[in-house]
Chain A
Amino acid sequence: MRGTFIRTLEKMAKADKNIFLLTADLGYKLFDNFRDNYPDRFVNVGVAESNMIGVAAGLALSGKNVYCYSMVPFLTMRTFEQIRVDLCYHNLGVKLVGVGGGLVYGLEGMTHQAIEDISIMRSLPNMTVTAPGDPAEVECLIEESVRYKGPLYIRLGKDRDPVVHETAPDFKIGRGIVLKRGKKAVLFAAGNVLPAAKAAVEALEENGLSITLVSMHTIKPIDKKLVIECARRTKAVFTVEEHSLIGGLGSAVAEIIAESGEKVIFRRIALPDAYSKYMGSSGYLRKKYGLTPQAIANRITKELKKK
């Protein structure tokens, strides 16, 4: 996803001389092309994320279109108050691009894993929160982001994220993408868990359970209309995300369901409210925490049997 991000941003920067890219000393080699082509619009601000947000605000107030890059925890958590005051309060169109959403940096340990970021960013007024599900969505999102108003958080996976959309998706910030229609339930997925969600839905289809699959790449503002429509049709709503149970996609969908009056089964499939006690790669941790296609499919089957 990060490769797609920078390739798309380079393309946009060619046409738009206002685009600036700041990094807090991350992305070795990733930005070489951008830096060589636009040396005046690329800054490594050093290992100093909070300062980066303030500098980005200043540049934005000078009419620049600024993208800030770092790993998710350092980009969204250390800098929380700078984001709140400098960006959100003034509704500045600074884009925060975080690499390593969820368990991507599994073996690096908890400092590099990100399970609370969506919740944290979602709580900020004016902030838009996105977690694209595959490189195709990243490309669309970066293209749209250039003209997007207000602060925008983009939660990426890392590299070699599988492509889910075989053709260009019908992408718009704030609108979920229905990948498949089915009657028994709906599964909303956000972020780099989308390939696993798709595989789970395909496995369920083979077992005679036809499920609607939605890529909910924008968690805030959430596509309320789509959530209610799918809930009404299927009467069984599931969410899946590589994020803590608290405050992410599951919470966002739950808020809508609870207030809608729809009587449905509702279950969140997510990481527990805990730091990983295991040490391992992202693949291993996904197995441990039930985020593999098989585990997702089993969970949905089990819950639907209770119906």
Chain B
Amino acid sequence: MGKDDIKKLEETAKKIRRSIVETLSSAKAGHTGGSLSVTDILTVLYFKEMKIDPSRPDWEDRDRFVLSKGHASCGLYCALVERGYFAKDLLSTFDRTDGCLQGHPDMHKTPGVDMSTGSLGQGLSVGAGMAAGARLLKKSFRVFVVLGDGEVQEGQVWEAAMYAGHNKLDNLTAIIDYNKLQLASRVQDAIDLEPLADKFRAFKWNVIGADGHSIESLCKAFEKARKNKGRPSVIIADTVKGKGISFAENKVEWHVRVPKGDEIAKALDELK
């Protein structure tokens, strides 16, 4: 991975962030903080790591992706547009009546969405099932599941973790968007997740740390996950909620707030 490749991915991430700001501010709804914190992860997945073909969203050998933190749908839609799954002008229908880009991803409505999500805690189980399915079908596709950190408080996440660890699902990679904030508070003030890496290790997972806003760090982490055998991998990606917009970064209120008025130009300016 050369410097130019990294630079290119950084530019792509910036484009996706700009789309997120434009889409959310035009819809006057959606989740800003979590869409921006997951952007670099989505960029590396869709533009480097995953074996996919935007012209064939139903291709049976494609790698699968589950956005278990479904409220970051806007980030996913903008990444799908950038990757060529559908036209950019569709983003103007985000969260609008009769559209196909719903508040939470719906596989019946949006091309490129492999699993409908929105009820937190369920995605990792489905991802583990897909990974087990690949093995049964003797297919080589891999499964990626992005979880929010607040979401990891759901008990079902740990049931899935135990199952995947026990079954040595090394074709499964979970990525935790660890931005340290949840809907109503800091994660550590609701239920602290630490020591998170130790928890996953105890559940028989290959644990990889990453800077969730460094393309290089993320690429290396995914490479480690790819090469790892005999255990599922989890990439604990340290991120910043609202990343890229100075006035939204690390602020609980930006979980659901969207840029409005002067904030829109200011945000887009920062993302030039």
Most chain B CB atoms below 10 A, which of A23, A31, A46, A74: A46
A51 vs B155: C-alpha distance in the bound complex, in angstroms? 8
Q: Does B111 contact A (CB under 8 A)?
A: no
Q: A108-B118, A109-B118, A111-B118 given as contacts; is B103 within 8 A of A47 (CB)? A: no
B29 near A47 with CB under 8 A, answer no
Number of A-B contacts (CB under 8 A): 94
Task: Knowing A109-B102, A280-B97 are in contact, say whether A47-B185 is a contact too (CB < 8 A).
Answer: no
Contact, CB under 8 Å: B106 / A25: no
Given contacts A44-B189, A44-B190, A48-B191, contact A107 B153 (CB under 8 A): no
A48 touches B154 (CB 8 A): yes
How many Å lie between the Cα of A284 and that of B102 in the bound state?
14
Known: A44-B185, A45-B191. A25 touches B150 (CB 8 A): yes
Q: For the complex, is B183 an interface residue (Cβ under 8 Å from A)? A: yes
Size band of the interface chain A makes with B: 20 to 34
For B96, what are the chain A residues with a Cβ–Cβ distance below 8 Å? 107
In the bound complex, do residue A111 and residue B104 qualify as a contact, i.e. CB atoms below 8 Å apart? yes
* Interface: A175 (CB within 8 A): no
A279:B109 contact, CB within 8 angstroms: yes
Residue in B closest to A285 when the chains form the complex, CB atoms? B97
A77 to chain B, nearest CB (A): 9
Binary CB contact string for chain B from 89 to 126 against chain A (1 if under 8 A, 0 otherwise): 00000011111101110100100000011111100000
Q: Does B255 contact A (CB under 8 A)?
A: yes
Q: Which residues of A contact B120 (CB under 8 A)?
A: 47, 74
Question: B257's closest neighbor in chain A, by CB?
Answer: A28
Q: Give the docked Cα–Cα distance between A21 and B182 (Å).
A: 19
C-alpha spacing A74/B38, complex, angstroms:
24
Interface residues of A in 125-179 (CB under 8 A from B): none
Cα-based distance from A74 to B98 in the complex (angstroms): 26
Interface SS of chain A: loop
**Is the CB of B242 closer than 8 A to any CB of chain A?**
no
Please indicate which of the listed interface residues B99, B102, B116 has the most CB atoms of chain A within 10 Å of its own CB: B102
In whole angstroms, what is the CA distance A159 to B120 when docked?
A: 23
Residues of A within 8 A of B95 (CB): 107
A112 touching B190, Cβ below 8 Å: no
CB pair A109 B103 closer than 8 Å: yes
> Are B116 and A28 closer than 8 Å at their CB atoms?
no
Known: A47-B151, A107-B103. 19 other contacts (CB 8 A): A26-B183, A28-B184, A28-B252, A31-B184, A44-B184, A47-B121, A47-B154, A48-B153, A48-B191, A51-B155, A73-B119, A78-B119, A111-B116, A111-B117, A112-B104, A112-B118, A112-B119, A280-B97, A284-B97
Please list 25 pairs of residues, one from A and one from B, whose beta carbons are closer than 8 Å in the complex, sorted by A's number.
A25-B153, A25-B182, A25-B185, A28-B252, A28-B253, A31-B184, A44-B185, A44-B189, A44-B190, A45-B191, A46-B153, A47-B120, A47-B154, A47-B190, A51-B155, A78-B119, A107-B95, A108-B104, A108-B118, A110-B116, A111-B70, A111-B104, A112-B118, A278-B98, A281-B97
Interface residues of A (CB under 8 A from B): 23, 25-29, 31, 44-51, 73-74, 78, 105, 107-112, 278-281, 284
Name B's A-contacting residues (CB within 8 A).
29, 70, 95-100, 102-104, 106, 109, 116-121, 150-151, 153-155, 182-185, 189-191, 252-253, 255-256
- 5 smallest beta-carbon distances between A and B, as pairs: A111-B118, A46-B191, A280-B97, A46-B153, A108-B103
